[in-house]
Structure 1
Amino acid sequence: MEYNDELWGRHRRAVHAICESMRQATRDQLGLSLAQKVPCSAPSQLLGLNQVVEIDRDRFIASVEPNVTMEALVQLTKMEGLIPTVIAPSRATTIADAFATATFGSSSFQFGTFDCAVLSLEAVLPDGQYVMAKLGDGDDADRLFEILGAPDSPALITLLEIALTPAWGYVEMTYWPVSSVSGARLRMEPKGPNSLILDRAAVDESTDFVDSVMFDWSSGVVVTGRLTPAADRIHSRFGKKHTFVQHAKSICSALRYKHESYVETVPLEIYLFRYSDCLAAPMRIKRRSGGRRD
């Protein structure tokens, strides 16, 4: 998605209108009591900022307006062979919400929370002043970055630069059963060249994603994911009828030995939203004969 004058022009006009609304509201409210305050139209204007303005494939950066959903961002960046380094678990989560709540989500374990994927912010202060803050660009910029990202910040964020990383179309998932929290931790630790096969590490230099889920005190699973261009193994579609956790538990129950592992391949987007897709499906209420409801 190359530089687009029309998209950037629309964005600049929208930001200018928000600045003017904030300035006008400030002028109108001077000298008024709290009960007389005039509502500002800028927050409603912010709802129109819902476009991915640019995807820079050379710099691995997406310029994104705050009301873009996670689903839209993933789909557009995936078309360029990229995805955000951190992705919120719900398709409907907006970029602004993911940033303000420090979302963990479906991300590479290497990059941390969603706010770590935000490289710079563009915002409008309550007095209508336009500001930009770039992470790592000096102490003042870092402090401004933190202020703008606070959940109760009075400033309105109008654009975020999101870090991207190369992606393939599928994720090869490996399920490693464990019997305790300490066992999960040991399974994820690096091992030496002389380690027994029973102790082989789940995580290595090719690992892109890691999950650790405990079903109860004595059973759980470590799930590792590796980006791959093709589905050359079992092709799973969890999330249609079963949750990801239910699916993982059934796999572990089917393995005869705890040192065994199971491999399957899923489409990238299904993997990224594995925790929320099945929860969005409508629940069916079972009825007994005679019309009684469970």
Structure 2
Amino acid sequence: MERHNAAVKAIASEVERFHQLQRPFRIYHGSTNSTRQSQHGPDNTISTADLTHVLDINTTTRTALVEPNVPMDALAQATAAHHLVPLVVMEFPGITVGGGFSGTSGESSSFRHGFFDATVNWIEFILPNGEITRASKTDRTDLFWGAASAFGTLGVVTMLEVQLRPAKPFIELRYYSTSSMDEAMHVFRAVTNDPSTEYLDGIVYARDHVVVCAGKLVDVPRTAPVRLTRPWDEWYYLRAQNRSHQSSGPALNQAAVDYIPLADYLFRYDRGAFWVGRYAYSYFFVPFIYLTRVLLDWFMHTRVMYHALHESGHAKRYIIQDVAVPYAGTSEFVNWLDNKENFGAYPIWLCPLRHGPGMMERSVSAAEKSTESEFEKKPNATTDDYYLMNFGLWAPSRHPSDRSAFLTQNRRLERKVLDLQGKKWLYAHAYYTEDEFWSIYDKKQYDALREKYHASYLPDLYQKVRVDLSPQQGSQNWVDWAKSVIWEIRPVSGLYGVYKALRGGEYFIRKSKTA
């Protein structure tokens, strides 16, 4: 802890200097799993890149004390040594504990435990005036829940206490094949009501083919274990698709079953970034077959893919959104997404989520935010009112070279989600106007929180996540024009992204250490 305390004191001193100058700063974590472009520079950045340690694991209280830049794979490995696992483990190994807390993260255990921030007991936090403090669900609760949804715009998280639970070596995973979203929702509700279900998500392969994947921890596999993380293993979404065809139907006794090592299951979507990696094969004119997936496996892990995505600029050509709608609207939403002008791409990820405070929506009262969340008050509630269905929508835009049409497509998606009384997560770009944004999120409460904790001089949430909707100016000279034309030639920009990923750099996760 001596090393940690010294590092935090040094960061706090830098924050205090920015505060004295009233100069806004951004936080550099040493990595990112956001799709937004970096806006860091030498004169506007506080670095927490060295806060990468698991500080303590307490087997009695089942908690881990961790610094914010510990990635999920390092945390899972450290807790596994004590036969424990975090309640919620984000699906990409490079997502950090701090990023999961500040960036609205959920995964297949979130139907039981809520978002990752709900599994954090307390945080150590540097206020924007340089003061080091703590906030929890019982002390400074407004700061705790505000920081859990403010994407670094309230200050700097420097340590977190994360809840753990007993682990077992394997996941027994059942694949239920359904022929419609209505049928899939019936299965989601049924397996949620089964207390033995501990992990739950799904994949929409087509409007008439939805697979529900429900798992539980077990000590001993009944069949040969299925691996998912080696170069020669099948990508998980392909495995799930194949196994769904071996399921005889949606009934709970008709599922195909796999036994998967726990770590393989937790990071099952890392290879291929769910299925987004398959688009790279098409972009580079490479056949998407088993042999090429084995040979190019190194490039298809999310740490490398995020780096290449940023450097190539292709985040501006893809629909990359996570949105959630109430259970009652799921079928309508799938039908709407099936329209090619709206989205028209498959697969789509499904992940049921328990409600909780955060993100400062107008629909959540200040009183709720200052107390424990609904899923903590009523852990056994199964009514639809306590759930949202997350839709992971990741595919090339139908209008990659037409910026206006691209913006329109994203804005149409945001409007549909609002019409269904849903919400979107802000790790990706937000295409709202400022007035639209603050009609969804409670600016009055947010500004009051920023004023209370000395954060008013920092960039606000909208400034951090927004997309510039103004028309782009034309090139100033023929050299700029020529560069832009060359960049558009397929696959020039993609090759540049691969080149930068091979070299390494800013977007790579630093290796975590256990103290």
- The two structures have a TM-score, normalised by structure 1, of 0.79
Shift in Å at residue 148 of structure 1?
2.6
Q: Which of 6, 12, 15 lines up with 1:19 in the alignment?
A: 12
Whole-angstrom CA distance in 2 between matches of 1:124 and 1:78: 30
Whole-angstrom CA distance in 2 between matches of 1:279 and 1:184: 24
Q: Which residue of 2 aligns with 1:251?
A: 243
Whole-angstrom CA distance in 2 between matches of 1:148 and 1:176: 38
Give the % identical residues: 28
* C-alpha contact (below 8 Å) 1:123/1:155 kept by paired residues: yes
Q: Which residue of 1 aligns with 2:451?
A: none
Opposite residue 223 of structure 1, the aligned amino acid is: C
Opposite residue 97 of structure 2, the aligned amino acid is: I
Q: Which of 199, 203, 209 lines up with 1:213 in the alignment?
A: 203
Q: Which residue of 1 aligns with 2:168?
A: 168
Matches within 5 A, 1:63-82: 63-82=65-84
Q: Which residue of 2 aligns with 1:4?
A: none
Q: Does 1:224 align with 2:218?
A: no
Change (3 A) 1:189 1:107: closer
| Structure 1 residues not aligned, in runs of 5+ | 1-7, 33-37, 191-200, 288-292
Which protein has greater RCO, CA pairs closer than 8 Å, 6+ apart?
Answer: 2
Shift in Å at residue 202 of structure 1?
7.6
Matches within 5 A, 1:170-189: 170-189=170-189
Opposite residue 14 of structure 1, the aligned amino acid is: A
1:151 is paired with a residue whose SS is coil
2:112 is paired with a residue whose SS is coil
Larger Rg: 1
* C-alpha contact (below 8 Å) 1:169/1:228 kept by paired residues: yes
Change (3 A) 1:286 1:243: closer
Q: Which residue of 2 aligns with 1:10?
A: 3
How much is the aligned-residue C-alpha RMSD, in angstroms?
2.8
- The two structures have a TM-score, normalised by structure 2, of 0.47
Q: Which residue of 1 aligns with 2:151?
A: 151
Q: Does 1:265 align with 2:267?
A: no
Opposite residue 216 of structure 2, the aligned amino acid is: R
Whole-angstrom CA distance in 1 between matches of 2:108 and 2:55: 23
Shift in Å at residue 203 of structure 1?
5.3
Q: Which residue of 2 aligns with 1:234?
A: 224
| Structure 2 residues not aligned, in runs of 5+ | 24-41, 289-489, 492-515
Q: Which residue of 2 aligns with 1:275?
A: 269
Change (3 A) 1:17 1:261: same
Shift in Å at residue 152 of structure 1?
4.3
Shift in Å at residue 286 of structure 1?
4.4
Render the CA deviation track for 1:208-260: whole Å, top value 9, x for unaligned: 11122221121222211110112232321235443322211111223455652
Shift in Å at residue 124 of structure 1?
0.9
Whole-angstrom CA distance in 1 between matches of 2:153 and 2:167: 34
Render the CA deviation track for 1:165-213: whole Å, top value 9, x for unaligned: 11111101111211111112222334xxxxxxxxxx5851211111222
Opposite residue 252 of structure 1, the aligned amino acid is: S
Q: Which residue of 2 aligns with 1:5?
A: none
Q: How many residues align?
A: 260
Q: Which residue of 2 aligns with 1:197?
A: none
Identify which range, 146-155 or 50-59, moves more after superposition. Answer: 146-155
